Chains A and B, each alone.
Chain A
């Protein structure tokens, strides 16, 4: 609706809550954080302008590299796996069989288990004498110390956060339902087999959904902290010491607010850069209508 005169204010009244929230809870804090990142700013008094000092300090900080590497490893494993799982589930749900609604519910429900409860539940499943090791031993494998072996712990966190893909699954399902079936019919007439139809029609047509889900799960992977805090505490031997935990501890445990702000900004730039890169890449192989 277009308005004139004194009525011009009306739309601003409707969006006023967001404007207040944006200024007070996003713009101002983000600006402050950028400002603080140029200071040696500790909780107890001491504030000194250091310019880019906090950023250059990171390059000499081994823990920074470790946290970055752990997070990158985690994201590199989890993001593709979660895309494959959620797309696989969505494809299964596309089949026209009776009772598919039941399976849709069953596939979504694991998403409801998150946060601390998720970490507790999987801490129990993954424990040395836990049920997963029972299954592994039954199948003839050797016990895996999921939470105490530095080589396995990252996979333990991946397994824990892997099941709750309901939201991504629904996004894929809705994208798959929007692929015009005429395309498949035409390809069939041209003699394209199922694999070819999937790679040449399905994948490009749901390209935007793949991009969206990848970015969302990438951001989630970088922000992962609740599960590691409650599952491994960042250990063993810092094997699951993720970047978010690094920032959190610098701020709230070591009280190094300036350094933590710089850490957080590096993370924002990294996430933003990766997202933009992925969007660019995806334009090559996905189909955009606009």
Chain B
């Protein structure tokens, strides 16, 4: 990918023939550029000015990152403070004593092991469902011509705008009619029926693959499902990982679904359990923060495993606008 210069920020790549130099090769080019700057356009800044600008950029980047990440640090630190230190104002930014037992206390104050297992079950099933179903549907839309296809695809896109509020009451009645209230089916089953956003994401990718793949496989005698399963599914791996991770973040943190469709406290998921602290008599900040820390861990782990798929550092993946 050619590096593109940022408007308003001077960079050696801008307006010179070195535009296509990959990022790893930049420093040497830069150094050379500063030495031979006499040849360039008159508006080119002085070397010291450039160094100043670069360090200014680093200061800005670091400052912004620190501000954005501060809530994470603050949550972790606060969850480890002893009660007396927790209440202190002005607050201490590094706890004098790391009280790890806070986590044990928080965890045992409610049946969190049960909630965790419930959350893991719902999340795993939903992620499985969304990847399988969205892949199938996207394949159908992207690789076949059939009657009503365009209309249906527009409808699919349009359904993304319908707010949850509009659907929730009739859905509740529907699930209640089916006897699904207080089961995990209302939370899991919809993901097995394709989620429009991910269908769209996968369709965009599948459309970019040349026709030759199916044709070759047809000649080899593969049937339609085999073509999908053996040829296209492996190609979709990065997009499927992206889909799984993005959907995992949503399901893992879903609060309204379990709140509305589940009744038994033993069936609750982590977000509902965490929210329970707020409504209970004793508001125990330390425990709430400790459970919050625990809740952030799985998304963080998933993110770091799938980082290159989400952030699009990989050449052929990423969320495209």
* Cβ-neighbour of B60 out of A21, A24, A92, A275 (below 8 A): A92
* Cβ-neighbour of A125 out of B15, B71, B155, B291 (below 8 A): B71
The answer on a CB contact under 8 Å between A198 and B7 is yes
* Cβ-neighbour of B170 out of A29, A107, A272 (below 8 A): A29
In the complex, how many angstroms separate the beta carbon of B205 from the nearest chain A beta carbon?
A: 14
Residues on the A chain within 8 Å of B141, using CB = 14-15
The CA-CA distance from A177 to B7 in the complex, in Å, is: 11
CB interface residues, A 94-146, toward B, < 8 Å: 94-98, 100-101, 103-110, 112-117, 120-122, 124-125, 129-131, 134, 138
The answer on a CB contact under 8 Å between A36 and B140 is no
* Cβ-neighbour of B311 out of A91, A92, A104, A212 (below 8 A): A104
A134/B163 contact (C-beta < 8 A), A15-B137, A17-B193, A261-B169 known: no
Q: Identify the closest chain A residue to B1 (Cβ).
A: A177
Residues on the B chain within 8 Å of A1, using CB = 143-145, 211, 214
Interface 0/1 of B139-152, CB less than 8 Å to A: 11101111001001
Any chain A CB within 8 A of the CB of B253?
A: yes
Any chain B CB within 8 A of the CB of A222?
A: yes
Residues on the A chain within 8 Å of B72, using CB = 109-110, 113
Report how many residues on chain B are interfacial, defined by Cβ distance under 8 Å. 105
The CA-CA distance from A72 to B119 in the complex, in Å, is: 34
A3/B146 contact (C-beta < 8 A), A120-B274, A121-B71 known: yes
Any chain A CB within 8 A of the CB of B289?
A: yes
User: Which residues of B are in contact with A by a Cβ distance under 8 Å?
Assistant: 1-9, 11, 13-15, 19, 23, 26-27, 41, 54, 57-58, 60-61, 64-65, 68-69, 71-72, 74-75, 78, 87, 89-91, 133, 136-137, 139-141, 143-146, 149, 152, 155-156, 159, 161-171, 173-174, 190, 192-194, 196, 199, 211, 214, 224, 228, 249, 253-256, 260, 271-272, 274-275, 277-278, 285, 288-289, 291-292, 295-296, 299-300, 303, 307, 310-313, 318-321
User: Which residues of A are in contact with B by a Cβ distance under 8 Å?
Assistant: 1-3, 7-8, 10-15, 17-22, 24-26, 28-30, 32-33, 36, 89, 91-92, 94-98, 100-101, 103-110, 112-117, 120-122, 124-125, 129-131, 134, 138, 163, 167, 170-177, 179, 181, 184-185, 188, 194-195, 197-198, 201-202, 208-209, 212, 219, 222-223, 225-226, 229-230, 244, 247-248, 251-252, 257, 260-261, 263-265, 267-268, 271-272, 275
